[in-house]
Chains A and B, each alone.
Chain A
């Protein structure tokens, strides 16, 4: 393992994007902005959404639909799922008081679960890069920690963000999932047990290898913990959590896209080309995100419903579609995907070494 092969970019970029920045923001908000007035943060996050959150959804759509081969390989995801989402949106718009609250409830619980999946995926990627083998036992301990933190987060978000058993989402009153009082303690017990067991495995590895485990391996889980346990008590912080989740995603998705576009025989391998591809991919995804989250609701503005309601329902559908597509296209057990996730962007500047397991667009 070299210092370069451990990161997608370098120590600074990976550490900040994977979680360092979000932890710093949490500390800063805790110290300087523990205010109930979240409006300034809300508007700031809305602006950041245009360049980070929305493009992160668009990047998934782009990856799936960028070639006909992709669509042929995953027909149900490419065609069947959007039809189901259209049906769910139609039902929600048709019965905004009967169906929409449950559709939004489903999205609001699924969203942090999806973040948990990304945390585990990132930990696996960096562990593999560091040579720290994550077998079944290690994965079980990590999952216990991450998914219990998610349950703790759901409980805290609901407790701190609801009023009279409802959460305000895009101007709609969405009921919370009522949970028994003992559930928080039970989730915490599982979470700390998982953390201790995983830390034990990491300690054994350190002793055997006679070196410390690179902190980047543990950073995704630490970040996840910050988001869902202490961070869930700070309303101004949870508004920006989706931004940080999207930032993590964009780093990995960009690396993958560059691998697909640049790492081909006969292609130009230079920083200029990397910059050009990154700008092209970024601008397309910004445009795609605007279409998904602004254009789509605007297209349905003729409906006899408040525009915010339509936008909220469509946003939930785009999110749920994203959760599915992500599950399909980012499987580490796939040799081609895992091969691309092991590279450093600077590797693309050298001469092309066309990998037999190189991802096709769909696999990337």
Chain B
């Protein structure tokens, strides 16, 4: 049942997004479509944010690491939006989910690099 539902959703999404043709399980990297090239650029940007956070470990505040993580969410969210933003044309309910997803993204970004009053949780016997 779960597989059937997932199949229907994926089929709808694939149609809306004009997803890459994966017949045969291979794709030619040289003749990538503009959409695939954009997605590759998005993934590259996310990798850069992750690497920046990694190399700055111990040198910047937790707030900066959280902000870098939020940039990853923003880029990933935008890539998904570019893929599935118009899925509501075929599945109306999915259009509502896209809008709710955007609102969630905006709410999260509203917390971008703000001061957090949360005190760090310390575990007994945590590794040093």
* Residues of A participating in the B interface, judged by any CB pair closer than 8 Å: 74-77, 80-81, 84, 87-88, 91, 95, 97-99, 102-103, 105-106, 109-110, 113-114, 117, 147, 151, 154, 165, 175, 177-181, 183, 323-324, 327-328, 331, 333-334
The answer for the CA separation of A73 and B110 in the assembled complex, in Å, is 17
* Residues of B participating in the A interface, judged by any CB pair closer than 8 Å: 34-35, 37-38, 41, 45, 49, 52, 60, 64, 67-68, 71, 74-75, 78, 81-82, 85-89, 92-93, 95-96, 98-99, 102-103, 106, 109-115, 117
Contact between chains at A177 and B114 (CB < 8 Å): no
B interface: dominant SS:
helix
Q: Which residue of B lies closest to A151 (CB)?
A: B99
Contact between chains at B78 and A87 (CB < 8 Å): no
Closest beta carbon of chain A to B59's beta carbon, Å: 11
Contact between chains at B106 and A113 (CB < 8 Å): yes
Contact between chains at A331 and B115 (CB < 8 Å): yes
Contact between chains at B103 and A177 (CB < 8 Å): no
Given the complex, which residues of B lie within 8 Å of A106, measured CB to CB? 78, 81, 102
The answer for the CA separation of A177 and B84 in the assembled complex, in Å, is 10
Contact between chains at B114 and A178 (CB < 8 Å): no
Contact between chains at A183 and B67 (CB < 8 Å): no
Given contacts A77-B113, A84-B71, is CB(A91)–CB(B102) below 8 Å?
A: no
Given contacts A102-B82, A109-B102, A177-B85, is CB(A117)–CB(B95) below 8 Å?
A: no
The answer for the CA separation of A359 and B67 in the assembled complex, in Å, is 23
Given contacts A102-B81, A117-B110, A328-B113, is CB(A91)–CB(B41) below 8 Å?
A: yes
Instruction: Supply 15 A–B pairs (Cβ within 8 Å), ascending by A.
Output: A75-B60, A77-B67, A77-B113, A80-B68, A87-B45, A91-B38, A105-B81, A106-B78, A110-B102, A165-B89, A177-B85, A177-B99, A179-B99, A180-B92, A181-B92
A interface: dominant SS:
helix
The answer for the CA separation of A84 and B67 in the assembled complex, in Å, is 13
Contact between chains at A324 and B92 (CB < 8 Å): no
- Pick the residue among B92, B106, B110, B117 that contacts A178 (CB under 8 A): B92
Top 7 A-B pairs ranked by shortest CB distance?
A: A178-B88, A180-B92, A76-B67, A178-B95, A102-B82, A98-B34, A178-B89
